[in-house]
């Protein structure tokens, strides 16, 4: 009797999960991705505003990027990875050398590049044809992934680098912004 009830409960749970997953159309998934990128943009803006302008050159240790460089790396990757999906031209001034440019290291420049990169990523998601998200692309002439996977990798990458800067903010004696899952 207990096995039958357990089996029925498990079957009911899987049925409910299947119905829930089926209820999400590709457009629903796209809309959620846009919403997540917008949340990430706002959350990252809080990080940029939390770090004092005179601490943008701070490094947790000599062998790592400065706070500014971490954020510029995040910005460059947002644009590069999402451009592989959208095939849109990157905004002016974006390139692999961005995090090394002396002129890009101040707070105003970092804010500009990071916010522009999020706007670009959000528009890339909004403007791509969701029916082509299953198409496979090659990045760096060696990595193959679907367009959907690349958009997820872009999101994962920006989350990773923003998370690294949590330590930078703490090391300069400031409490980082509260996590924003929703």
Residue 40's pLDDT band (boundaries 50, 70, 90)?
very high
Residue 95, pLDDT score: 87
- What is the band of 1 on the pLDDT scale with cuts at 50, 70, 90? low
pLDDT at residue 9 is higher than 50:
no
Rounded Cα–Cα distance for residues 182 and 175 (Å): 20
Q: What is d(CA 154, CA 135) in angstroms, rounded to the nearest whole number? A: 16
Do 154 and 81 touch, CB atoms closer than 8 A?
yes
Residue whose token pair is 């995040």: 74
Residue whose structure tokens are 């890339």 = 124
Give the whole-angstrom CA distance, residue 72 versus residue 126.
23
Structure confidence at residue 20 as a pLDDT band (50, 70, 90): low
For the stretch 87-104, pLDDT in tens is 899 999 998 899 999 999
pLDDT digits (tens, 9 = 90+) for 93-146: 998 899 999 999 999 999 999 999 999 999 999 999 999 999 999 988 999 999
Task: With cut-offs at 50, 70 and 90, classify the pLDDT of residue 182.
Answer: confident
167-176: pLDDT as tens digits: 999 999 999 9
pLDDT at 69 over 90: yes
Q: How confident is the model at residue 55 (pLDDT cuts 50, 70, 90)?
A: very high
Q: Which domains does the chain have, with CATH numbers?
A: 25-171 (1.20.120.450)
Burial of 84 (0-12, 13-18, 19+ CB in 10 A): buried
Mean pLDDT, the chain, as a whole number?
90
């Amino acid at each position: 009797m207990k096995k039958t009830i357990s089996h029925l409960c498990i079957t009911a749970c899987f049925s409910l999960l299947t119905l829930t997953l089926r209820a999400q159309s590709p457009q629903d998934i796209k809309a959620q991705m846009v919403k997540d990128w917008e949340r990430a943009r706002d959350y990252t803006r809080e990080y940029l505003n939390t770090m004092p302008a005179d601490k943008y050159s701070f490094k947790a240790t000599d062998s790592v990027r400065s706070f500014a460089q971490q954020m510029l790396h995040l910005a460059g990757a947002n644009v590069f990875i999402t451009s592989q999906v959208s095939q849109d031209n990157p905004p002016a001034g974006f390139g692999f050398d961005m995090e090394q440019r002396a002129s890009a290291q101040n707070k105003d420049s970092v804010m500009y590049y990071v916010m522009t990169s999020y706007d670009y990523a959000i528009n890339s998601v909004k403007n791509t044809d969701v029916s082509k998200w299953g198409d496979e692309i090659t990045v760096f002439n060696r990595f193959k992934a679907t367009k959907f996977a690349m958009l997820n990798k872009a999101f994962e990458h920006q989350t990773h680098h923003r998370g690294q800067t949590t330590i930078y903010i703490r090391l300069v004696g400031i409490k980082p912004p509260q996590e924003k899952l929703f």
